[in-house]
Chain A
Amino acid sequence: MNNLSRRQLIKQLGAAGIATGLFGASKQAWSKTAPHVVIVGGGIGGASAAKYLRIIDKNVKITLIEPNKEYIFCPGSNEILNETATLEELTVNYETLKNRYAVNVITDWADDIDYTGKRVKTRNSGFVAYDKLIVSPGPDYKLDAVEGYNKALAEGDFPHAWKAGAQTTKLFDQMKSMPQGGTIAISSPPMPYRCPPAPYERASFMAEWLAHHNPTAKILILDSKDGFTFQKHYLDYWTKVRGYGTDNSMIEWVAAKDGGEVKQLDALNKTLITANGDKIKADVINIIPNHTAAKFAKDTGLSQGQEWVSIDPMTYQSRVDKDVYVVGDVTESSPMVKTGYLASNHAKVVVQAIVDEFNGKAPSQPLYTNNCVALAGDDYGMSITDTFRVQNGKIVKQYGHQSTELDNPALHYVRASLAKNWQRAFRRDIFA
């Protein structure tokens, strides 16, 4: 197969050609010698790759394989819970990538990679041949890490809402219909998971909503960790406005070392059982699940039997095949955390490396930043600035800073405002 010419390959894979014709092919006709870059996954990593590849190479053929017709941003989706955003605002589609960036979009599942044939097997659209493949499938959730929790429950009465969408709305509705003085229990997972401060932001936004509508309600955060990002800010804010540390606190946080880790869900009795055997009955239960690499990364062997996909941090080339690159949360990129900001920056490095190779150039030295925001309330923002470099094939954290100031209301307002400006800017940087 390796020896087949591109033309023969295309002939053999007629189905692939038809597939791109049927599913949203762009108006451009591509040169027969144009290399074909295929991207699996149209989230932040995949969409960034498509857009930024087109910006630096007008002639390459780009195909994006993504099962959903729309993408709902996770950054900003906790805002559903304090009613400062709607799902509609967070929803984008692939029309701009298709029309403005001439990306072929195939609405289908990618199921497997034929490495020797250099083609992706889709569920309903046959094979799609590639010269270079970028894989950005995100994480999957290990629901059974909490005994008794499963997919049916997540899609039913126990939404994790860790992927923005119907479950987010469901969680909000559950909070709304909770009786006065009811309890919400949130299980916060061990690292690594996407957006480390998000469970605490979620609890904060719920508290903000409850303060107006159900002021005697309680939120209990049961943690599998002993600390968390922006902890100083969150605890300070909760102390100042939610009575944290008093008998009347709306929010309680239980660290792992105090038995906070959730081990089991008793769905029938709406009860969580923690590591030290405490049984906590709650009106609303939100289990944020443990993460692992997406099934696609495991099925295709990209993860090499590990939890995450090992990559060469210089280019995010996979360890399995030199023509396959992997970006985003699915990768083993520690000491980086898993954020959309970093996923988009992985993607920019990958497309530069691919185009450099097309042009016979060595890959450039990369740099990855994670300059991100979170909120504790509509009037309180925080920022983080992380920078990573690559030295001797390893990712080195050059600097990490979290905002520190506590007693400056003006600054909290500015940061909250900046956070909201940032969310829009970030969505546009990837999808507009």
Chain B
Amino acid sequence: MKKTKLMISLGITLACAVTANTVMASAHGSKVVDPWSTSNWLQTKRDMPKGDAIRGEKLANDGYCYSCHGVQGVNPTQATPSLAGQNATYTYKMLLDYQSGLFHIDHKSDVMIDLMNVYNKQEMADMAAYYEAQTLPHQYYAPETSTATSETIKMVKKGDVSRLIVPCASCHGAHGEGGMNESPALAGMSPRMFVRQMNVYRSGERNNDVNSGMAQFATDLTDAEIQALADYYATLSAK
């Protein structure tokens, strides 16, 4: 399995190499940001400071994070993600990617990019630790009970060998709780957020994944499969 993934990943990485830079448009002009290489990311992850959830809570409150992400990181709207229960490494990496401007999809991203002017890596790790310590969110936009078909469950648990798609669970956890590394928790993610992220991976607007680790699979999935997966993960949320 590892081998397959590596092969796909290499192939896609080569294909993407030409367009691999993200140009960040901002009021201050355009900034070109290099995407992550495996070695850069691994080093960054090793250097990630140990987060302190108590300090993180204060930082998050002083930074008014709840204004968009909800009290204790549970957001009842679909415009911005809930952060509660999210894998700290993922949150930390996202904050770094906002700070560098690598993650810039549309004007919604501006707030986080501007905001990250004021935080250092220790503070980012602290906030990430705080949110990780919260319970994965209840999802308002999910069906009451799972409507997932056997095909969707199969995609999650077994992937699709014919299209060289690895199981979602191999990175995101058996219950969507997030992976060992920077793979985010998906349980309780709003379906719209899920679909939107998959679409920007497919279009190449989102390229902050290391070695196109997500984009390579997103491009192979159909619209219907993505919607079904979005609904599936939303129903895995806390009740």
A touching B, CB within 8 angstroms:
yes
| B160 surroundings in chain A (CB, below 8 A) | none
A411 touches B63 (CB 8 A): yes
Query: Chain A 400-428, CB within 8 Å of chain B: the 1/0 string?
Result: 00000000111101101110110010000
B110 touches A410 (CB 8 A): no
Closest chain-B Cβ to A213's Cβ sits at a distance in Å of 15
A-B contact pairs, 10 of them (CB 8 A): A410-B64, A411-B62, A413-B114, A414-B114, A417-B111, A417-B113, A417-B114, A420-B27, A420-B107, A421-B110
A379 touches B117 (CB 8 A): yes
Which of A85, A416, A417, A420 gathers most chain B CB within 10 Å? A417
Residue of chain A at shortest CB distance from B67: A414
Q: Tell me whether B7 is interfacial, beta carbon within 8 Å.
A: no
B118 touches A413 (CB 8 A): yes
Q: Give Cα distance in the complex from A84 to B110, angstroms.
A: 14
Residue of chain A at shortest CB distance from B63: A410
Residue of chain B at shortest CB distance from A416: B114
Q: Give Cα distance in the complex from A414 to B108, angstroms.
A: 11
| B63 surroundings in chain A (CB, below 8 A) | 410-411, 414
Q: Give Cα distance in the complex from A202 to B140, angstroms.
A: 44
A417 touches B117 (CB 8 A): no
Q: What 10 new A-B contacts, CB under 8 Å, besides A414-B115, A421-B107?
A: A410-B62, A410-B119, A411-B63, A411-B64, A413-B118, A414-B63, A417-B113, A418-B111, A420-B27, A421-B111
Residue of chain A at shortest CB distance from B111: A417
A413 touches B117 (CB 8 A): yes
A410 touches B107 (CB 8 A): no
Q: Give Cα distance in the complex from A85 to B118, angstroms.
A: 23
| B27 surroundings in chain A (CB, below 8 A) | 84-85, 378, 420
| A84 surroundings in chain B (CB, below 8 A) | 27
Select one of A409, A420, A424 contacting B118, CB under 8 A.
A409
Chain B interface mostly helix, strand, loop or mixed? helix
Residue of chain B at shortest CB distance from A378: B27
B107 touches A414 (CB 8 A): no
Q: Give Cα distance in the complex from A416 to B111, angstroms.
A: 8
| A416 surroundings in chain B (CB, below 8 A) | 114
Given A84-B27, A378-B27, A424-B107, A417 and B115 contact (CB-CB distance below 8 Å): yes
A408 touches B62 (CB 8 A): yes
Chain A interface mostly helix, strand, loop or mixed? helix
Residue of chain B at shortest CB distance from A409: B118
| A413 surroundings in chain B (CB, below 8 A) | 114-115, 117-118
| A424 surroundings in chain B (CB, below 8 A) | 107
Given A84-B27, A421-B107, A424-B107, A379 and B62 contact (CB-CB distance below 8 Å): no
Closest chain-B Cβ to A417's Cβ sits at a distance in Å of 4
Q: Give Cα distance in the complex from A42 to B113, angstroms.
A: 36
Query: Chain B 44-70, CB within 8 Å of chain A: the 1/0 string?
Result: 000000000000000000111001000
Q: Give Cα distance in the complex from A283 to B67, angstroms.
A: 44
Closest chain-A Cβ to B214's Cβ sits at a distance in Å of 26
| A409 surroundings in chain B (CB, below 8 A) | 117-118
* Chain A residues numbered 384-410 whose CB sits less than 8 Å from any CB in chain B: 408-410
Q: Give Cα distance in the complex from A378 to B119, angstroms.
A: 17
Given A84-B27, A378-B27, A414 and B111 contact (CB-CB distance below 8 Å): yes
| A414 surroundings in chain B (CB, below 8 A) | 63-64, 67, 111, 114-115
A379 touches B114 (CB 8 A): yes
Query: Chain B 147-177, CB within 8 Å of chain A: the 1/0 string?
Result: 0000000000000000000000000000000
Q: Give Cα distance in the complex from A402 to B111, angstroms.
A: 20
* Chain B residues numbered 96-121 whose CB sits less than 8 Å from any CB in chain A: 107-108, 110-111, 113-115, 117-119
Select one of A379, A411, A417 contacting B110, CB under 8 A.
A417
| A379 surroundings in chain B (CB, below 8 A) | 114, 117
Closest chain-A Cβ to B101's Cβ sits at a distance in Å of 14
| B114 surroundings in chain A (CB, below 8 A) | 379, 413-414, 416-417
Residue of chain B at shortest CB distance from A412: B118
Closest chain-A Cβ to B51's Cβ sits at a distance in Å of 18
Closest chain-B Cβ to A231's Cβ sits at a distance in Å of 23
Closest chain-A Cβ to B157's Cβ sits at a distance in Å of 40
Q: Give Cα distance in the complex from A413 to B62, angstroms.
A: 13
Q: Give Cα distance in the complex from A424 to B27, angstroms.
A: 14
Closest chain-A Cβ to B28's Cβ sits at a distance in Å of 8
Which of B27, B108, B114 gathers most chain A CB within 10 Å? B114
Closest chain-B Cβ to A182's Cβ sits at a distance in Å of 25
Residue of chain A at shortest CB distance from B64: A411
Closest chain-B Cβ to A413's Cβ sits at a distance in Å of 5
Residue of chain B at shortest CB distance from A420: B110
| A85 surroundings in chain B (CB, below 8 A) | 27
